[in-house]
A and B are shown apart, each in its own frame.
Chain A
Amino acid sequence: MSKRHLLALFSNFDEAEAVVKELRKISLKGFDADKDMIVKSPIEHPEVEEFLGDKPVRVQWFTLGGALTGGLLAFFLISGAQGNFFAQLKGGKPVVPFPPNFVLTYEMFILGGVYISVLGFLICAGLPARRSPLYSAKVSEDQIGILVQADETASGTLRSIFTKHQALEIQEEAGK
C-alpha cells in the first residue's frame, strides 16, 4: 500500500491545535501521530510544543561536549607548548602557570561550546535538509501547516478532519 502526504494550512494556532489533538486520538492505517505528523509554523511558538507533547532536544549535550573539549584542548595544548621549552630559563616561575593559562582555556571553552552547539543544532534539526514532499511558502508567511503521512486509504478521513477545522488549503501528493 503506497503512502500519501497531505499538507493542510490553517490561519491560526487554535485550529492547528484542534487538528493535532484529533489526529492523536484517532487510529488510521499507516499513521502514527508521533512519527507521521509535522507541524510547520512561521514563528517559534511554545504552545505548538505543548500540544505536540514532550520531544527531547539534545543540542545541550553537544554544547557540553564542545565546551569541555575546547577548554581541555586549549589547556593541554598550551601546557604542552610551555612544557616543551622547560629548558628555558624561567626565573623561578612555574613552567605551566595556571592563572594566565586559564584565560585562553576559558576562551577556547566558549569557542568549542559555540561551534559544537551549532554543529549539534545542524545534526539534531536535520539540516541541511531537502524540501519535504509538500511545502507551501505560506508557512513562512502567516499560516500554520500540518503535514501528515498515511496510507492512501486514510487520506479521505484526514481530508475530512482538515476540512472540519477550516483548513484554508489542502495539498496532497503521493509519497514513497
Chain B
Amino acid sequence: MKDIREDIAWAKINNDVLKSLESPRKLFWVIIICALGVFGIGVGCEVYQYSTGLGVANMDNPHVWGLYIASFIFWIGMSHSGTLLSAILHLMHADWRKPIYRFAEAMTTFSLMTAGLFVAVHLGRLWQLYYALPYPNERGIWPNFQSPLLWDAMAIFTYLSSSILFLYVGMIPDLAICRDNIHTGWRKKLYTLLSLGWEGTDRLWRNFRVTYLTIACFLIPLAVSVHSIVASDFAMSQQPGWHITSFPPYFVAGALYSGCAAIITLFIILRYVFKFEEYMTLSILKKTVRLTFAISMVWTYLNLIEYATVWYSHDEVAKAVLLQKATGPYAPFWWMMNFLGSIVPLVLAFKRFQTHIPVLLTVSLLLNVGMWLERWMIVAPTFSHGYYPWTWDHDQWPSLVQWGIVFGSFGWFTLLFMVFCKVFPSVSMYEVKEMVYHRSQATKKLEATGKMATAGKGAH
C-alpha cells in the first residue's frame, strides 16, 4: 500500500484541491449547520451566565474552576499534535505528513483560540478581563511574574501567534496557486492579498525553506513548554493530586495523544467531505494510527507512574484523593477515563483495524472523550477532597449552563475549522507535488538499479 500514487499529475493535484474549496460534499453543510446550532447553545449559556452571574454554573468554593478549566486544558492539549505533525515530522523528513499537516496546523490554531475563550469564560466577570493583562495600570500594581498563571497566558499567546505565522508562512505558495486559478470575486482579492506576490522564484524558495525550518525548530520546544506550563498551574500548587513531579511530561503526552486522536477523526471527515481519497490515503491513516497507538502507550505508562508515585510515596492526603477518585462519586468517570485512555487504544494495535474507517472514527472519538475526562478528573476530585475537611462532602456536579458552554466550544471549533477548510487549501498542494516528485524519482532510481543488477547478472 503506497502513501500516494507517484503518477498523479501536478495539474490534477491543483485541480482536486481547488475543487475542494468550491464543491464539497453535502455533509459539509450538515456539519456547518450542526456546529452553528451547538455554538448557538454555548453562546446562549454564556450570555445567561454573564448577565446572571457565575452561580448559575453551579460553581462555588472550593469548586471554582469546574469544567471550564478542564476544557481549557483539553483544547490546549488538542493543539499539540499539529506541531507534532508539521514541525517534528518535518525535521525528521517524514514526507507522509505532507498531505495532512496543513489541517493539523489549522487544528492547532483553532483549538488554541477555543482554549483562550475558557480563560475569559471562567472569570465570570468578563468586563474585568483586563485585570489579568501585564501592564502598569491605575491600581499601581504589576502582575505576579512568578505565577504559573501568568506564564500560561504568555506561553499560550506565544504559541497561538507563532502557530498562526507557521500556518500562514507554510501556506503562501498555495495561496499563490489559488490566486492564479481563481479569477473572480472576493476569493481572488483575498488570495492576491495573502500570497504577497509569490511567484516561486529560487530566491523565494531559498528563504522560504530556511524560515519554515527555523519556525519549526522554535515551535517544538515551545509546544513542550506550553503544556509543561499548563501542568505547572497544578503541579506548583500544594494541592493533593496535583503536586506531582511527573505532571509536565504527563500533560505533554496527554496533549499529543488527544491531538493525534483528533487528527484521525478530522482526517476521516475531511477525506470524505472534500473528496481527498487520493491524498489522504489509508496508508497515511495507518501511519497516523500507529503514531497514536505509540503515544497512547506512553500516556498509559505515565498515568500508571503517577498512580504508583502517589501510592508508594505514602503521602496520605494525596493517597486519599486517589482512592476517592477510584471509589468516590467521580469513580465512574475515573474508571471510564482509564478504560477509554488505556484499553480502547489497544484496538489500534490490530492491523485490520488500522485502516478500518468506521472503527477508527469511533475509537478516535472515544479516545478524546477519555482525554477530556482525564482533564476533568485532574481538576474536580482534588477540589472535593483537598486538605480542608469542609471540602470533603462537597461534590460538585456542573450545571446545564456549564455543560452548554463546553458543548458550545466544540461547535465553535468545528465552525472555525470547517470554514478554514472551505476557504483555504487544507491539503498542501506544493508539498504533495514534492512528495510525488521525490517518490517518483526514487522509484526511477530503484528501477534503474534493478535493471543494472539484472543486466549485470546476465553478463556474468
B202 contacts chain A at the CB level, 8 A cutoff: yes
Chain A residues within 8 Å of B207, by CB: 57, 59, 121, 124-125
What is the 8 Å Cβ interface bit string for chain A, positions 1-45, against chain B (1 contact, 0 not)?
A: 000000000000000000000000000000000000011111111
A103 contacts chain B at the CB level, 8 A cutoff: yes
B139 contacts chain A at the CB level, 8 A cutoff: no
B145 contacts chain A at the CB level, 8 A cutoff: yes
CB pair B211–A44 under 8 Å, yes or no, is: no
CB pair B201–A113 under 8 Å, yes or no, is: no
The B426-450 residues at the A interface (CB cut-off 8 A) are: 430-431, 433-434, 437
Give the CA-CA distance A142 to B162 in the complex, in Å.
31
**Given the interface contacts A43-B437, A45-B205, does A113 sit within 8 Å of B218 by beta carbon?**
yes
**Given the interface contacts A63-B214, A103-B229, A104-B151, does A41 sit within 8 Å of B145 by beta carbon?**
no
A101 contacts chain B at the CB level, 8 A cutoff: yes
How many whole Å from B453's CB to the nearest CB in chain A? 24
How many whole Å from B418's CB to the nearest CB in chain A? 26
The A82-135 residues at the B interface (CB cut-off 8 A) are: 82, 84-85, 97, 100-101, 103-104, 106-108, 110-111, 113-115, 117-118, 120-122, 124-132, 135
Give the CA-CA distance A147 to B219 in the complex, in Å.
36
CB pair B214–A38 under 8 Å, yes or no, is: no
How many A residues touch B, CB cutoff 8 Å?
Answer: 56
How many whole Å from B230's CB to the nearest CB in chain A? 12
CB pair A117–B145 under 8 Å, yes or no, is: no
B296 contacts chain A at the CB level, 8 A cutoff: no
Give the CA-CA distance A103 to B153 in the complex, in Å.
12
**Given the interface contacts A44-B208, A128-B196, A140-B180, does A38 sit within 8 Å of B145 by beta carbon?**
no
CB pair B202–A60 under 8 Å, yes or no, is: no
Chain A residues within 8 Å of B203, by CB: 38, 55, 125-126
**Given the interface contacts A141-B11, A141-B177, does A111 sit within 8 Å of B197 by beta carbon?**
no
Q: Which of A39, A60, A117 has the most CB of B within 10 A?
A: A117
B210 contacts chain A at the CB level, 8 A cutoff: yes
Residues of B within 8 A of A (CB): 9-11, 14, 136, 141-142, 145-146, 150-151, 154-155, 157-158, 161-162, 165-166, 169, 173, 176-177, 180-181, 196-211, 214-215, 218-219, 221-222, 225, 229, 430-431, 433-434, 437
Query: 10 closest pairs, A vs B, by CB?
Result: A142-B10, A129-B197, A137-B180, A121-B211, A125-B207, A128-B196, A100-B146, A127-B196, A114-B162, A111-B158
